[in-house]
Structure 1
C-alpha cells in the first residue's frame, strides 16, 4: 500500500493532474451515455450543427445576409436561394445561418450569468438558513410570481430595446428556478457527515460552500440550466418578435418571424424556416437535459426502466 501510494503521488503525476484526468474521464463517460441515447444524440447533433453554423457562418452562408436585391423579393426556395428570399430580396438561408450566432451568444451569456447567480443565492440561503434564507427566498418568490416573458418585457421596457438589454432581461428572470434547486440540494447536504467534519476542522463557511456543497449541487444545476435554455431561446424569440430584442437588420430568428408574418399566406418560408430553427434548438436542449439527468442520476434512470 505504501509503495502504491508513493507511486500515485510521485512528481510525474501531481494530484491536480490526476483530478483533471478523472474529471475528463467522467465527462467522456457522460458524453458516451448521451451519444448512446437516441433522443439525446439527436439533441447533441442539433446543438453541434448550431455551433458549427455560428462558427463558420461566412463559409456556410451562400449570400450576404444584409444584401438587398429588390428584383428578387419573396422568391420561393430554389437552388439559387435554398430557403427563398424575404421582402427585401435577402437570402433567408444566409440570414438563418448568421442568426445562429445571435442565438448562441444569447444562450452562452445567459448561462454564464444565470448559473453562478442562482447557485450562489441557493447555496447561501440553504446553508445559513434563518433570515438569509427568508430574505433571499422571498426575493426569489417575487421573481417566480411573474411569467418569465412578462417580466422580461418589463425589464426591457425599463432598459430599452436592444440585444444587450434583452440578454440582461432574460438573465434577470432565469436564475430563480436554479436558486430554488440549489437551496433544496443544500438543505439536504448541510447536515452531511463530511460537511460536519469540515466544520469541526475549522473550515470557514465560504470554504465549505465552495469546496463541499457547490460541487455536489453542480449536476442538478447543470441539468436544470440545460433545460432552461429552451425557455431562454423562446423568450429571446418572443422579445425579437415584439421588436424589443435584436433590432433590424440583425437576422434574429424571432424578428424574422415578426416580419415574415405579414407575407406568410403567400410566402410561407419566411415563417416556417425561422420557426423550425427555434423549434429544433429548443427541443434539442430539452432532449439533452433529459439525457444529462439520466446520465448524472443513475437511480432515476433505473426507476424509469
Structure 2
C-alpha cells in the first residue's frame, strides 16, 4: 500500500469523531438547504457544537456572509468549497514545520498540564526523529512524579534513543536538565528532548520553576531552548485556549502538539487555537501506538474531516 495513502487513512480514522460532529453535519446541511443568509445560522450552530470558539465561528460566518452577498446565485458546491477554504486558511496561517537541523543539538523543552500525555508524546516524537536517522537524547526533568523517569526510560528504549539522562540523587529538575544539555553537546546529539513535570497552569510557583529551568539551559546555550513545546489534550476542547494563553504569557510557547485526537470529538478546538494565536501547531497524536504521530498538515487535516 502507498505509504502516503496509508498515512492519510490513519489520520482520517483518528478524526472520525470530529468528522461526525463537524464535517458530516455541515456537509448534510449545505447539501440539503438553499444557499442564503438563513443557512448561516445553522452553520453557526454546527461550528459551535463542534467546539469551535465564538470568536472563530463569528469570523467564519462573517466571511461566508460576504461571500453570499457577492455571489447571489452561488450553488451549494461553491458555497461548501468556500466554507472549507475558510477553515483551511485559518489553519494554514500557523503552518510552520519544525526544522531541527538549524541547531546541534536542537533542544526541545516539553511542557503541559497533568494528564495530557506529555511523556508518551516525547517517546513518539523521539521515535519520529529516530526514523529520520537523528540521534536523540531524553532528559528526565519530571522529578515530581515517581514513575516519570521509569516511563521515560521505557519510551526511550522503544524509540531507539541514545540515552535518557536522569539523576537519582536530586529532586531538582534544573540540575538534571543542566547535566542533560552538557551531555547532549558532548555527545553531539542531533536532538535533546526535555521532559518536565506536569503542572496546573494557574499555579504561579510552577511557572516560576519553568522559568528557572529555561535560565539554567541558557547558561550553556544562550539560544536554547530552541523550541518550547506545549502539549495539549484534544479532549478538553476550548479549555485548551486558556492553557495556551497562560503558558505563553509565562514562558513564550513556540510550538504546540495536540494529543488524543483519536478519542475526541473536539478536534474543532484546534481551529480555534490556530485562530487565537500565531503559534505553530507542529504535531498531532492520533493513537496509542508509538508511530501514531504526525506533523500537522492543514490540508490533510481538513481533507480528513470533510472529504468523503
TM-score surpassing 0.5? no
Which has the larger strand fraction?
Answer: 2
Instruction: Identify the TM-score tier after normalising by the shorter chain.
Output: under 0.3
Larger helix proportion of the pair: 1
TM-score (norm 1): 0.27
> Using CA pairs below 8 Å that are at least 6 residues apart, which structure has the higher relative contact order?
2
